[in-house]
Chain A
Amino acid sequence: MQALLSVRNLSARLKSEDQCVSLLNNINFEICPEQTVALLGETGSGKSLTALSICRLLSQSIFLSPESEVLLQGKNLLTLSEIEMRRVRGKQIAMIFQEPTTSFNPVFTIGHQIEEVLLHHQRLARKGLEKVVYRLLENVHIAEVERVYKAYPHQLSGGMKQRAMIAMALAGEPKLLIADEPTTALDVITQAQILVLLKQLQAKFGMGILFITHDLSVAAEMADQIIVMQAGRIIEQRGELQKSPLTPHPPQPPLKGGSFQRGGLEVKSILNDAETLLSVEHLDIYFPIKRGIFNKTVGYVRAVEKISLTVRKGETLAIVGESGSGKTTLARGIMSLIKPTQGEVDLLGENLAHLSQKQLRKKRAEFQIIFQDPLSAMDPRCRIKAILEEGMIALKIGADQNERDERINALLDAVGLLPEHLTRYPHQLSGGQRQRVCIARALAVGPRLLVCDEPTSSLDVSVQAQIIDLFIRLQKELEIAYLFITHNIALVRTMAHRVIVMKDGKMVEQGTVEQVLNAPQHPYTKALLIAAGRGQI
């Protein structure tokens, strides 16, 4: 069968005033009709760039090499004039993007934007246009077609918007659909639905799909062929035969997999009568909704609703939820960085809300927080030494400079850094090193509780395992308690004693890890675990 799309010798360079950087290097692959090919890779691997090259939507400073060829049904797209290319875009090749919110024009209705495609490519009369749009929306399983037609993008949910975007892409009846991380911004359940939808549409219309993702399990589910990219090159191509999820092992590049490399460390079980460090009761954190620039309070966003939990000495309580579940807000509320609307947060028996500013500051030595992105958690102007010292100086840990220096050296040892790192700036360290610095900084003041807000999510997979090992080791040695926030079920299994599941600000299930993960009660927990089982989270 003749290939629908044939990419040959595709190479791209970024030309700026003083330098020439190679972005893509000799990309070759083919897509046949009704076939799905997945481009798999981490950020910066060049997968999106490849897709944009096919559509010739690159920015003005990126140049393709003369040997590059992109053949759509035999015709080389790269030799077409811009006007001819515009007839291809939207009609023969359609593209959908990751973030449906920003990919739609916010000041036009959905209906208008879909009609635009129809008017431009199919030259349909204006009269029957609305009906055609309704049909397109029905194809993507949107029930309330009239409402969506008249709606502006911000009035729809993420999943709805993505469906609308797919409908818009299909309006031109394309032969090739390029999907650039279409489900990454969606929650687990909607993600599954969209993937199913895409497969159905492919079967119905016989399109070829170029699916771009960084998630191996999604690729495995969708694609007939997986192409792995790294740093602008193809490093691996797996065809029809091996559909099973790849197990990552060095020296293969990091991919988002479902399991963790455990360093063989087991989480230490805790005694039942260990003292309670943190006690949260009926915590509510509401944010007033202020419309636009009026600052009129029209309602409240209930970020956290009636959460109660306890953390004992030396134990790890995991909080699991997807983005938007309120777990980050909860963490900041517990840390007294956000003021709770109602409820009590007791640390070592003292109600934090009843403390004066000065008392609260002193108390902070007992509990610290690790943020998700270590780079943004450090002041880019400060050297590592200053960063580590800051808390100690503020909370008067260590009587003089010598004691502080000793303590810093001990900390470097504990987290696996070297003294030479002290004089560097945050941007000069690797991701893993930066997080180690943040952990050291937190430990410097001697806390008994560490709130960790997705501390490994921003790191490469290979580094994640090392940091997790570090957490486990530190807990063993120092008997620190963790309030560990994550969306990764596998991590929970590895690290936690007890777990709480959050959805939309509320707690839907809690218990020991064995209870919740092996015998979930709540339907949401079950759905999460199923998705986890697929390796998607």
Chain B
Amino acid sequence: MKMIVLWTDALVYLLVIGLVVWIYFFRKTQEWRLILAQLKKRPYYLVALLILMVYGIIGILDSIHFKTASNEFAVRSVLDLLLSPYDHVSEVTYSAPFATHSAEPQVLKTEDGHFAEVYPKLKYFHFLGTDKIGRDVFYLAIKSIRTGLVIGTVTTLVMLPFALLFGMWAGYFRGWVDDIIQYIYTTLSSVPGILLIAGAMLSLQPKIEADPDIRLLILCVILGVTSWTTLCRLLRGETLKLRSADFVQSAIALGVTPLKIIRRHIMPNLMHIVIITVALDFSALVLAEAILSYVGVGVDPTAFSWGNMINAARLDMAREPLVWWSLSGALFFMFILVFSANIFSDALQKAFNPKEN
């Protein structure tokens, strides 16, 4: 048994460690208490958080990959292990949820030597049916969770440093630094988002064709690099406001160096904006993945993602009988994740809204 660490796996580990560290420092602050108060006040927020945590655990389990001695070529994850045998077996073709027989007839030799069209019996039970090549739809949907999560979170990892650094810098130091940063983000945000992403993915195509994992990574980086501008603008505005607040002016008057002021007085007061934006962007990114895959600049077509499932299933809708389960499965799991994220970000917004308190 040899452990394999993909690039995106490494980032997932980094994120988890980062999250734990951050929570360790964060639990003492006022924001933490406000969030907890909201969770207590309205239990449905807690439910949303739990759902998010379940998805998170599934994603983490799917990020621990290994190779077994018996099969040198198959890289499996812990999730695969838990969901086996569905990860490596398949039926012939489509089958409906809960069905016992395939949806497509096949020409087989019957017992008495004749060829007849029969609906072959399925080897396994499929909760949500199977797709065109016989893979279990439920399995596909669960495996896609990781992709969605990675896109929602790794992108943020890339985006945050840019947005924070540039935003605080521009807002605090103003002058020519501000002008340059404003020029950069105005230029970047002038290009319609999807076009910029498409353009970037296209031009990087030759480099990323080989490895789906690298492609996912590059996609996250591109998404991050193209989406920091909105948050940067917000942080810049807030920093400008904070800078002229009396307590920052007092610190300046007391001779505190700019770097220390930024670290001590400005950054902690920006946290609530960052948290809310990250939560909102998360759901937007998960939804965007589907659209990007449809356009052709999303994840690799062979990777597990809801976007790919939808894309493939789109053509299935024209078939008779209607093959609806692949599409529905993908949309359903995506919906639950995005909906929970939206509900939870609502909790965050309420927590930081002074009127509520």
Contacts and interface: CB of A to CB of B under 8 A. Distances in A.
Interface of A: 17-18, 332, 335, 337, 361-362, 364-365, 368-369, 371, 373, 376-382, 390-391, 394-395, 438, 441, 445
A224 B200 CA distance: 77
A378 B247 contact: yes
Contact of A17 (B41, B257, B265): B41
Contacts of B252: 337
Interface string B223-249: 000000000000000000000011101
Contacts of A438: 250
Interface string B36-60: 0000010000000000000000000
B18 interface: no
Contact of B253 (A368, A378, A381): A368
Contact of B264 (A361, A369, A379): A379
Nearest to B258: A357
A382 B30 CA distance: 11
A390 B254 contact: yes
A155 to B, nearest CB: 27
B254 A364 contact: yes
Chain A to chain B: the 10 pairs with minimum beta-carbon distance, closest first: A391-B254, A364-B255, A377-B246, A394-B256, A361-B255, A376-B246, A394-B255, A395-B255, A379-B247, A371-B246
Given A337-B252, A381-B29, A394 B257 contact: yes
Nearest to A332: B249
A381 B246 contact: no
Nearest to B253: A369
A369 B250 contact: yes
B204 interface: no
Given A381-B30, A381-B268, A441 B254 contact: yes
Given A394-B260, A395-B255, A377 B250 contact: yes
Contact of A390 (B30, B249, B251): B251
Contacts of B254: 364, 368, 390-391, 394-395, 441, 445
Given A379-B265, A394-B260, A441 B250 contact: yes
A391 B268 contact: no
A377 B247 contact: yes
Nearest to B254: A391
Contacts of B41: 17-18
Contacts of A391: 254-256
Nearest to A451: B253
Contacts of B249: 332, 337, 369, 371, 377
Given A371-B250, A381-B269, 17 more contacts: A335-B253, A337-B252, A337-B253, A361-B255, A364-B255, A368-B254, A377-B247, A378-B247, A390-B251, A390-B254, A391-B255, A394-B254, A394-B260, A395-B254, A395-B255, A441-B254, A445-B255
Nearest to A377: B246
Contact of A362 (B251, B255, B269): B255
Pick from B29, B250, B260, B264 the residue with the most CB of A within 10 Å. B250
A56 B256 CA distance: 51
B297 to A, nearest CB: 34
Pick from A332, A390, A445 the residue with the most CB of B within 10 Å. A390
Contacts of B257: 361, 394
Contacts of A379: 247, 251, 264-265
Pick from B251, B260, B265, B268 the residue with the most CB of A within 10 Å. B251
A142 to B, nearest CB: 36
Nearest to B266: A379
A214 to B, nearest CB: 23
Nearest to A358: B257
Contacts of A332: 249
Contacts of A369: 249-250, 253
Given A17-B41, A381-B29, A376 B255 contact: no
Nearest to A397: B255
24 contacts: A17-B41, A18-B41, A332-B249, A361-B255, A368-B254, A369-B253, A371-B249, A371-B250, A376-B247, A377-B247, A378-B247, A379-B251, A379-B264, A380-B247, A381-B269, A382-B264, A390-B251, A391-B255, A394-B254, A394-B257, A394-B260, A395-B254, A438-B250, A441-B250
A288 B51 CA distance: 53
Nearest to A395: B255
B29 A364 contact: no
A390 B256 contact: yes
Contact of A365 (B245, B250, B255): B255
A151 B264 CA distance: 47
B253 to A, nearest CB: 5
Contacts of B246: 371, 373, 376-377
A345 to B, nearest CB: 14
Contacts of B265: 379
Contacts of B253: 335, 337, 364, 368-369
B250 A378 contact: yes
A362 B264 CA distance: 20
A365 B281 CA distance: 45
Contacts of A378: 247, 250
Contacts of A368: 253-254
A391 B249 CA distance: 12
Contacts of A335: 253
A335 B255 CA distance: 11
B240 to A, nearest CB: 14
Interface in B269-308: 269
Nearest to A392: B254
Contacts of A337: 249, 252-253
Nearest to A335: B253
A378 B268 CA distance: 14
B27 to A, nearest CB: 14
Contacts of B260: 394
A388 B269 CA distance: 20
A32 B11 CA distance: 77
B36 to A, nearest CB: 15
Contacts of A380: 30, 247
Contacts of B29: 381
Nearest to A444: B254
A202 B252 CA distance: 52
A367 to B, nearest CB: 8
A85 B269 CA distance: 45
B51 to A, nearest CB: 24
A110 to B, nearest CB: 31
A177 to B, nearest CB: 31
B354 to A, nearest CB: 12
Contacts of B255: 361-362, 364-365, 391, 394-395, 445
Pick from B29, B30, B252, B254 the residue with the most CB of A within 10 Å. B254
Contacts of A395: 254-255
Nearest to A18: B41
Contacts of B256: 390-391, 394
Contacts of A441: 250, 254
Contacts of B30: 380-381
A67 B70 CA distance: 85
Nearest to B249: A337
Contacts of A373: 246
Contacts of A362: 255
A114 B257 CA distance: 54
